[in-house]
Amino acid sequence: MIVALMIACSGPNATDSGSPSVDTGQPMEASCELGWNSWASGFFTTYCTSCHHPQSANRHGAPNGINFHTQNDALIHLDRVRVRVLNAQDMPLGGGVPLSDLQRLNEWVNCAEATP
Ligand code: HEC
């Protein structure tokens, strides 16, 4: 008797696995030295809003409604920012965020999560 135990576990849904995550070596307490105006706004403008902005001339396929031009928009998608930029590191498309900015983003996300 042949028992086939073929369990498909290698689907295309592997976005979050296999990529190195950012180890900042920092404790998990929120550091709130970085504010929206003082830092995060500039980060999202530099790395995200070329595609993720309601007035973007070419979103390059970025989903409508996923925008980062206001603090509120960024906060709504905070979980996904962590997953895509810090964990999977597949946003922004094309990469290019220096580690120092990833570390600051990590701090800002931690702070934003801790201060509802
Ligand atoms: C060059 C264009 C481009 C830039 C720049 C860009 N994105 Fe995206 N983004 C996309 C495209 C295309 C998709 C849809 C495909 C996908 O999800 O991979 C997307 C989807 C997303 C999504 C929704 C999908 C999900 O996983 O929830 C989030 C959140 C996101 N991007 C975050 C960001 C952040 C944060 C930045 C800046 C650090 C950024 N993106 C920069 C093109 C871009």
Closest approach atom of ligand 1 to CA 61? 12
Given this model, what pLDDT does residue 15 score?
45
Whether 53 lines ligand 1, by a CB cut-off of 6 Å, is: no
pLDDT mean across residues, the chain: 84
Domain ranges, ordered by start, for the chain: 37-114
- DSSP output for 11-59: -S--TTSSSPPP-----SS------IIIIIHHHHHHHTTTTSSTT-S--
Q: What is the DSSP letter of 69?
A: S
Question: Has residue 112 got a pLDDT over 90?
Answer: yes
* Ligand 1 atom 1: residue of nearest CA: 93
- pTM listed for this prediction: 0.80
Given this model, what pLDDT does residue 20 score?
56
